[in-house]
Structure 1
């Protein structure tokens, strides 16, 4: 096992080892180029004790955070923890591996060597005795255009979506350069973070200005900026990273933001549209599918760890129970 404090140090070490001995690690760098680009920006914009481990041809991304262990109970019990995950509120896992078996083995190796509290967030698979965390919602695009998407919906869902679009008439969506992300846009983003039931971290305005994303400003019916969207397209996937909007605009504006992202993904030919976590009902009613995500809470002290396992259900996310049959077939 080796560890690195910087992505550039990690890359340099892998590339210095020779192609024959480290071909699998090189493949991980290439396949996850978007993640390592993001991590490099976060090292400057959101320094939080990032450390990257190389174990069994896998890469484990970690950082430090004061975490509320009782988030899903809507209570507070904060503790300093080493997090296995990305230091940003996205659903991607911090376990970067070729397959589930080696990924799980590598993550558990890192967890066992930590002395204090360690929390693995957003794992795509159980790490053994793990609880659920917030599910992710993915839209699989099988449509030629937005009209085809609308016509494939059952009538009640189509009627609701058309009602959302009617309420959104007058909104203007316009792309701006990410370097023009303003303090006003950042305030819209902070408003959403502060209202969130499951907050992790608040990114500074410098992150949005430095990260090469697609920023969309939404002008409201009163002519003022009402919302901002931050999107990132990579390969066959469009990712809905962040949004911000004025509280008084309410659910109608938020639903129009979701529809805009799906429409954009369909029209630009993306196969997958990653809609992120939270807002389960709204996203499922638009035809998204749920991806369960796992969480493991571990402590280096055996007594504390046994207690955490005993009460692990308190940390677990309660999944949304309603089934939505959005499409006719």
Structure 2
């Protein structure tokens, strides 16, 4: 497939649908994934395409409490218990739909054609479940037609988003209510040490082994979600294939990496993909929180419109102004009886946000614009604390 031809129908801020991104993911040896690319042509030109992949998922990946304990107990005797083999339309390590349409086509008709071919592929592979992932409420539109073909619309874990409306990190902090602002300042001071640096790197392949180690720490600490396994190969591929459109925030103490955040620089959106942490240092340095703060700072400096901060750990993200963005997906089991059970079981085990909203900022958007003129009269955060950078 020609890269230029493939990318010709990929819209703005859809890096996960681009040729290079998909190539990087396919070659990254993630779990037991196998990848397929349905492409629809009309009179010799591409009018739609998608990425679909096979993956095995432990359905209790989201389960908690007594439910998780019971499933673990049964799985000691029956390893395949509650393991879902599915063909998913999406990408295993990012949020968002991978279906792309050329403008001006009949999307419902083309989606129906693509859906039938994906189902035929699933049957050839002896896979009983098909999913179309991940759609925000405002994106459902034509995809709700999938329900007429037997699909169940269910919720996925929610994404978190922040619209960037500040010209500097100081302005962002000064727009906050004092209790939220002072919490950030206090935690940032924990990283304000002579032997600690926070760097933004666009060339990071040389750290791939360290990134795998730090990411694995987070993987085994996770209580909300654990599915995809990443290796050094993944981090090298992201750097190699995406180049300047990817980067990391790297935290070091005495020149030793102790934390990182992986970033994708899309057209107007900064996407924070994964974090890695050395937990021996996290309590003293608040590494995770300082990585979150640095993501916001980078987005502002790069002139991005918004940030996608990803699923899980919603409370610390809400506390710095992020809003929860619900995601939907469509699931179908080819067995009619199981199609009534499996999607609902999956949904029941997918935790949703129950932490309530935060009022982080002092004013709404319009009032912030009015206050911007007065910003130079307020105390600069840089006068309170600074972090050594390289």
State whether TM-score is above 0.5: yes
Matched, 1:124 2:136: yes
Deviations 1:153-185 (A, max 9, x none): 111111111112122222311244222124222
In 1, distance between residues paired with 2:248 and 2:346? 39
**Residue 311 and residue 219 in structure 1: after superposition, are their counterparts in 2 closer, same or farther (change >3 A)?**
closer
Q: Give 1 or 2 for the bigger CA radius of gyration.
A: 2
Instruction: Work out the CA distance in 2 between the residues paired with 1:258 and 1:283.
Output: 8
1:205 corresponds to 2:232: yes
Q: Deviations over 1:78-122 (max 9, x none)?
A: 12111221022x222233346996487567545654431123332
Q: Displacement of 1:242 after TM fit?
A: 1.6
TM normalised by structure 1 equals: 0.83
RMSD value, Cα: 2.8
Find the partner of 2:279 among 247, 270, 273. 247
For the pair 1:273 / 2:299, whether they are aligned, the reply is: no
Answering whether residue 270 of structure 2 is matched by residue 238 of structure 1, we say yes
Kept after mapping to 2: 8 A contact 1:178/1:210 = no
Shift of 1:296: 2.8
SS of aligned partner of 1:231: strand
100-109 vs 268-277, greater mean Cα deviation: 100-109
Match for residue 88 of structure 2 among 71, 75, 83: 83
Gaps of 5+ in 2: 42-46, 72-81, 240-245, 364-390
Among 244, 248, 265, the residue aligned to 1:215: 248
SS in 2 for 1:45: coil
Q: Structure 1 pair 231/321, CA: closer, same or farther in 2 (3 Å)?
A: same
Alpha-carbon spacing, 1:101–1:158, altered in 2? closer, same or farther (3 Å):
farther
Residues in 2 aligned to 1:101 and 1:316: alpha-carbon distance in whole angstroms: 30
Question: TM (normalized to structure 2)?
Answer: 0.71
In structure 2, distance between residues paired with 1:26 and 1:206: 24
For the residues of structure 2 that align with 1:97 and 1:169, how far apart are their CA atoms?
48
How far is the alpha carbon of 1:216 from its aligned partner?
A: 3.0
What residue number does 2:323 align with? Answer: 289
CA deviation profile, 1:266-323 (whole Å, cap 9, x unmatched): 1221111221111101111111122111133321122221333554542443223311
Equivalent position SS for 1:254: helix
Aligned to 1:195: 221
Cα distance in structure 2, aligned partners of 1:219 and 1:312: 39
Q: Tell me, in whole angstroms, the C-alpha distance in 1 between the residues paired with 2:359 and 2:267.
A: 29
Q: How many residues align?
A: 308
> What residue number does 1:22 align with?
none
Cα distance 1:307–1:111, how it changes in 2: closer, same or farther (>3 A)?
A: farther
Shift of 1:255: 0.5
Name the stretch that deviates more: 105-114 or 34-43: 105-114
Secondary structure (helix, strand or coil) at the match of 1:181 reads helix
Give distance in 2, aligned partners of 1:60 and 1:153: 41
